[in-house]
Structure 1
Amino acid sequence: MTTASTTTTLTAQPIDPARLDDVRRNAEDGFGNRFVAFAASGEGEPLRCCLRYARAGEQIALVSFAPFEEASVWREVGPVYVHAERCEGYADRGLPDELRRGPRVLRTYQADATMNYDHNTLVGDEDIEPVLDRLLAEPDVAIVHVRTVLPQCFLYAVTR
């Protein structure tokens, strides 16, 4: 569902399927790690390809991923779960039902992909939509990375 408000329409962005196709085809994640499939435990592995939690027994992989592709001091590489085979992806562009509640770290970036420390936000166990809506209404915020709290792993990006 696309979520409309008075200030913005939120669009959740999973990992680009073409980037994941390359990882699967090359059998490595581009950072020297082999692509190895295994059965999901179903105990909370968030999939970045379809923006939902893995179901027990699904074939998934843990790969290194950098949300920004261009060279930058803000380019971070971290672990993410994805389906071992191409899945249906995330067709809905609104916030994903299973990954829209905190606790989360919301990292804000300006249009030139530099981090905007002034607006980085920590949210508790709540729906993050109103906070994302407020952040993306700021004139100096172009994109927000939604991340887990403790390991701060990338979940998905959100834009207007």
Structure 2
Amino acid sequence: MQNPTHFGWQIELNNPNNLSHHQPTPSTSFVKTLNLISVNHLSNEAASCMVSKFGLLENLKIIGCHGLESMSIASDTKLLSLTIFDCPHLKSLHIRSYKLRTFLYRGKFPWFLPEFHFNLGNAMLDSRQGPAFNTFKICDFDRVLLTIKNSEILTLCKWTFEVCYLYFSNSSF
């Protein structure tokens, strides 16, 4: 049974149906960078509604969201940078963004579901606390490797580096 303070969060950014030729309407805003700190089960719907009004959002930081168990972030046009730090209950992360160039993550390693293989300029995976779920297998890291493989700058913590090492030492490369 799910704790009532735990929640899932779905954020839809830069939806072309909400934008008129990429120009803000009176219901959108010129915000390009947004830091969301300590969003919880009571405020996630209001935050999602607010974020959907930011038609030009390029940089999103999500920090310290206790109780957040699953997150889905979709951006069809502009999201360039995504940072997720210190969301201790996050178990599942789904990302759909065509233009993502920076992905910074710090926390327990979630079930990671990217829809695209990004051409990241900068990637950081700091999962020194290990996996967020007990059934973690090395093959669960496949999607992450496809996501970070072309990164220009890659930062890994000890646990993530050890998983990568095990993955490559057991493969036939």
User: What TM-score results when the alignment is normalised by the length of structure 1?
Assistant: 0.26
Structure with higher RCO (Cα < 8 A, 6+ apart): 1
The answer to which structure has the higher helix fraction is: 2
Larger Rg: 2
